[in-house]
A and B are shown apart, each in its own frame.
Chain A
Amino acid sequence: GQARIAVASNFGEVARLLADDYSRRSGHAIQVSTASTGKLYAQIGHGAPFDILLSADDTTPLKLVREGLAIEASLYDYATGRLVLWSRRPELVRDGEALLRAGTFNKLAIANPELAPYGAAARELLTRLGRWDALQPKLVLGENVGQAMQFAFTANADVGLLPRSLAMEAEKKVGGSSWLVPQEQYRPIVQSAVLLSRARDNAAAVGFLQYLRGDAARAVIRAHGYD
């Protein structure tokens, strides 16, 4: 069989690895399409031929269920993202919290809190630290985490509050310095998956969701910086 999975951009790379692995094991063909969660939502509402949604949040799948476009029973939290304060400058981030309090950087890149769960988490963290208002002039907003990452990666922003998955990737490439934000500082960034109604009887799709719950998949996901 064959299935198309719609994946939030930030998880696209991992999803492709998983899809390949799953295809090798099951013989089913999986096609991965990536876009922002908002776009995927709009597309699904207008008849996009997707079978599974791997969302960047846990609210969009629920919304789809409520609208009858997805199957409630299939809801599954496939990953929990972690927030990292990353800088390309190797010396900059030692004590992240202190750095955020001091504000000794030119710009802080985050994803747009209205659009991206990681952005919302960053806002929550800064609010808790009492720095949200004070840091406003230094904030630059990416449309998604990818863009926020590019702001920091190109060193146009000294620091960024980013997904650990991307920060690991960046560190691999250019080093830099980072601080893993403690999970208590923000509500967990839960990313959930859901089977879309049109794929109710799609063995390949149902099988992929099954596979996602398995140890092999979980190991891959964890290796890429998700809890």
Chain B
Amino acid sequence: MSDERQTDTGTGIEIELQHRRGNFSLDVALHLPADGVSVVFGPSGCGKSTLLRAIAGLEPEARGIVRLRDEVWQDEHHRLPAHQRRGGVVFQHAALLPHLSVLDNLRYGWRRAGGTAALLEEWIDKLELAPLLARRAATLSGGEQQRVALARALVSRPQWLLLDEPLSALDGARRAEILPYLEAIKRDAGIPMLYVTHSVEEVARLADHLVLLDAGRVTASGAALDVLNRPDLPLALREDAGVVLEARACHQDEHGLIELDTPAGRLHAHAPAARVGHRPGTPLRVRIQARDVSLALQAHTDTSLLNLLPATITALSPLPGGQVQIRLDAGGQLLLARVSHRSVERLDLRPGLQLWAQIKAVALLV
């Protein structure tokens, strides 16, 4: 089940936990990279929060092993209590300390972890908490509470961030503002994250490693690209199915359009405003959703579809609702396209057929 590539002691993260709560049982064995974002994805009630709580040391009856690099948080012989595990937890319900102001909530963990004033100010700034500092938790809106909880975890100098749907109460605009900061933490601070989310967008943007959880068991665990592109997994059936490509920025025009080198060929994409200014050579990640890929038998250049990739159909699989999922090989890279059954008939789509995959530049998520 779990990918066993990082079994080298001392570098990766090792989690092996068993726990029962009523009828529900959690039984997971995971090896995660110690320097990236591992996203835990799964339906409501599958045990995501329980897993995070057990890792953080909040489920005293959970048995097993939790090891972060060479630091053992828990094994058969001993068990660090929660306050000695240096995890930064954002709970699903913010769980702010109700008797303290926002500032004192932030300072609570920050002081105990010996943070610097600069660190505190940095996150107050980035998450725009300055107007809230004097307020009590109970007077904050749902989204405000979530931002405070996030900042509180970040300023407590965690060695591992455990985030339980940290952005779920935020509107799209806020979410878009905060995601880059999380990406920056991942990139710059080298703090591993375990990130629970229901949002495929967040998975695609953040995940280095992806863990699929179902009914307390791991159904898949591996590099995010691999898991996201595995069409046999439940995820691939979802509306948001797609593939993620590792890319390299080549050129950015004066309007912000980026040319990308990808295994599938040259692509054009737009970067979100917050991330304009990529140097040539910067490694990037592009997500191509199956629903955004259309197929054409010829290359049409008189349309606004900027991206045209020559490809070969390798397989067709029907989906519920009269749609068909098509696997394409584009220069050795897997692409997914979702089209109507009617199109399959009309264009006589079949394995081996060579054609063009068309993708709008504005549809590419970088």
Query: Is there direct touching of A and B in the complex, by C-beta distance under 8 Å?
Result: no
By a beta-carbon cutoff of 8 Å, the part of chain B in contact with chain A is: none
